[in-house]
């Protein structure tokens, strides 16, 4: 059972990064696609396997809560044109790589990837199989909006090799669904889950959001009760990112309809406890998985990793992002592709790639990234492993940070031992606060001020 007192909520409910990367994306700087090309060249002989992420930005309708980078259109031809640029980008990335081309993981994210027509998926898969190496073990996943899948689409996706599925659910309460303009009956969700299971898909995930309009502790408890009965393999329970100043469509959600901070916290804690009581493992920030799911297994084996898609069982891998806004992570580099479709197409036509922001990690960044990843993925950090990795003594290098952690230890978030740090009890829910101690950029005055979301 996770419990946090109101005092601790007050103390630790501060704004902070979600650490899907370190340094966090706002700390990256502008680059030219030519710089991305140079960085890819540095990594050309990499012996690491590959993880590919393909971003499909299109959605037929806009859900009012949505904070993702999407293009709302009913014009089906938009995707055919887009796919031609994706194919071009795949070629450039494949050309830049002479080392290991084995794809351990491929993920279609969005937007709504099921917007693509079958023949467009075929084009992409043929190109990928031609330019990279796939095998039986390659994990191929897709994010699906169950309201817009076409008849026969799941069977088709299974036929072309898709074996992982993530479904947007958000909340099962009708009042909440209407308020966010995403009305999705429980039946359609259940139908997709059973169908995907019967097709042999694994790691089936549901996305939920807490903090949505008209949600109450009781209404979300009922949603969670129904969800655990359905028993998806994985769950992501996101904190509603409400930024009406930046996202005009979110202004249709009135702030007075949102649960207040304490209610939100009770909703979150209630759902965490419900999932754990129902046999799910708490993986870390926002994520749960059944004990036999590979995410839970990877956490136990300490091979879990976290990147901009969230937690992943695949570590020690080069992530190559394809499509508008996609992010790549390889060697000591992060790169983000152009966000605007028109400019993305222009870059791809000219250079075959479209990286416009990125960063080369310094030796200090690499040490802090390693540290944050250990804490956020495994709730455990072994000082000797750090010594083995960097030939530097952890306790001397992070002397100041370790003394700052003492306060968090007194509040019961962690245990500081002679040879390791263990994140315990409610510290696992507040792990962002612990990671923030190791974030050098938060202490610097020469970096942009960022409006992160609240840690809880």
Which residues in this chain contact ligand SAM in the complex, by CB under 6 A?
Answer: 65-68, 110, 112, 143, 145, 168, 170, 207, 209, 238, 240-241
- Under the criterion CB under 6 A, does residue 110 sit at the interface with ligand SF4? yes
Q: Which residue has the tokens 């980008």?
A: 89
62 binds, among ligand SF4, ligand SAM, none (CB under 5 to 8 A by kind): ligand SF4
Of 6-14, 108-116, 187-195, 421-429, the segment contacting ligand SF4 by CB under 6 A is: 108-116
Cα torsion 302, 429, 389, 394 to 10°: value is -140
- Only segment of 65-73, 159-167, 317-325, 337-345 that touches ligand SF4 (CB under 6 A): 65-73
Smallest separation (angstroms) from ligand SF4 to the CB of 46: 32
Residues 343-372, interacting with ligand SF4 (CB under 6 A):
none
Contact pick of 89, 139, 145, 286 for ligand SF4 (by CB under 6 A):
145
Give the interface size with ligand SF4 as a residue count (CB under 6 A). Answer: 11
Q: How far is the CB of 112 from ligand SF4 (least distance, A)?
A: 5
Question: Which distant-in-sequence residues (6+ apart) come within 8 Å of 232 by Cβ?
Answer: 167, 193, 204, 205, 206
Chain position whose Cβ is nearest to ligand SAM: 168
In this structure, is the dihedral angle defined by the CA atoms of residues 208, 451, 329 and 96, taken in order, positive or negative? Answer: positive
DSSP 8-class letter at 235: E
Q: Tokens 């491929």 map to which residue?
A: 106
Q: How far apart are CA 1 and CA 276, in angstroms?
A: 8
Among 2, 26, 37, 70, binds ligand SF4 (CB under 6 A): 70
Identity of the residue, 241 or 352, whose beta carbon is nearer to ligand SAM in the bound complex: 241
Cα radius of gyration rounded to whole Å, the chain: 22
What does 354 interact with, of ligand SAM, ligand SF4, none (CB < 5 to 8 A by kind)?
none
209 bridge partner residues: 238
Short-list 319, 311, 358, 308, CA closest to 68? 308
173: CB partners within 8 A, 6+ apart: 214, 215, 219, 220, 222, 223
Residues written for the chain = 456
92 binds, among ligand SAM, ligand SF4, none (CB under 5 to 8 A by kind): none
Q: Which among ligand SF4, ligand SAM, none contacts residue 209 (Cβ within 5 to 8 A by kind)?
A: ligand SAM
Burial class (CB within 10 angstroms; exposed 0-12, middle 13-18, buried 19+) of 418: exposed
Q: Which range, of 90-98, 110-118, 311-319, 392-400, touches ligand SF4 by CB under 6 A?
A: 110-118
207 binds, among ligand SF4, ligand SAM, none (CB under 5 to 8 A by kind): ligand SAM
Q: Residues 291-310: x/- map of binding to ligand SF4 (CB under 6 A)?
A: --------------------
Residue 141 Cβ, how far from ligand SF4 at the closest point, in Å?
A: 15
- Sign, Cα dihedral of 432, 440, 34, 31: positive
Which of 59/227 has CB closer to ligand SF4? 59
Beta carbons within 8 Å of 226's beta carbon, 6+ residues apart: 172, 186
Q: Give the residues lining the site for ligand SF4 (CB under 6 A).
A: 59, 62-63, 66, 68, 70, 110-112, 145, 168
């Amino acid at each position: 059972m996770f419990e946090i007192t109101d005092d601790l909520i007050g103390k630790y409910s501060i704004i902070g990064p979600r650490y899907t990367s370190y340094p966090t994306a706002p700390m990256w700087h502008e680059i030219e696609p030519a710089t991305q090309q140079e960085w890819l060249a540095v990594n050309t002989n990499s012996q690491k396997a590959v993880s590919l992420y393909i971003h499909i930005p299109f959605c037929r309708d806009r859900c009012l809560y949505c904070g993702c980078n999407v293009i709302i259109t009913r014009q089906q031809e938009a995707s055919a044109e887009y796919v031609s640029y994706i194919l071009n980008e795949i070629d450039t990335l494949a050309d830049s790589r002479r080392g290991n081309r084995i794809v351990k993981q491929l993920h279609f994210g969005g937007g709504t990837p099921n917007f693509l027509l079958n023949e467009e998926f075929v084009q992409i898969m043929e190109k990928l199989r031609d330019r990279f190496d796939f095998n039986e073990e390659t994990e191929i996943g897709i994010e699906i909006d169950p309201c817009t899948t076409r008849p026969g689409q799941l069977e088709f996706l299974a036929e072309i090799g898709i074996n992982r599925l993530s479904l947007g659910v958000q909340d099962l309460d009708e009042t909440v669904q209407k308020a966010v303009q995403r009305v999705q009956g429980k039946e359609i969700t259940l139908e997709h889950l059973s169908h995907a299971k019967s097709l042999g898909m694994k790691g089936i995930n549901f996305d939920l959001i807490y903090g949505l309009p008209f949600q109450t502790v009781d209404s979300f408890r009922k949603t969670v009760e129904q969800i655990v009965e359905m028993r998806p393999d994985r769950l992501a329970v996101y904190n509603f990112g409400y930024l009406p100043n930046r996202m005009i469509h979110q202004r249709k959600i009135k702030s007075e309809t949102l649960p207040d901070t304490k209610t939100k916290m009770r909703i979150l804690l209630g759902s965490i406890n419900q999932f754990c009581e129902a046999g799910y493992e708490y993986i870390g920030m926002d994520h749960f998985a059944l004990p036999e799911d590979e995410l839970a297994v990877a956490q136990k084996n300490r091979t879990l990793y976290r990147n901009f898609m969230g937690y992943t069982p695949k570590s020690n891998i080069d992530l190559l992002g394809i499509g508008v806004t996609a992010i790549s992570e390889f060697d000591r580099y992060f790169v983000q592709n152009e966000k605007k479709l028109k400019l993305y197409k222009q870059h791809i036509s000219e250079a075959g790639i479209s990286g416009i922001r990125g960063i080369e990690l310094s030796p200090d960044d690499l040490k802090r990234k390693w540290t944050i990843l250990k804490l956020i993925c495994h709730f455990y950090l072994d000082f000797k492993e750090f010594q083995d990795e960097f030939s530097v003594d952890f306790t001397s290098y992070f002397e100041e940070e370790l003394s700052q952690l003492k306060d968090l230890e007194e509040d019961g978030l962690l245990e500081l031992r002679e040879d390791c740090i263990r994140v315990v009890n409610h510290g696992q829910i507040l792990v962002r606060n612990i990671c923030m101690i190791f974030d050098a950029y938060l202490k610097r005055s020469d970096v942009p001020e960022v409006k992160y979301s609240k840690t809880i």
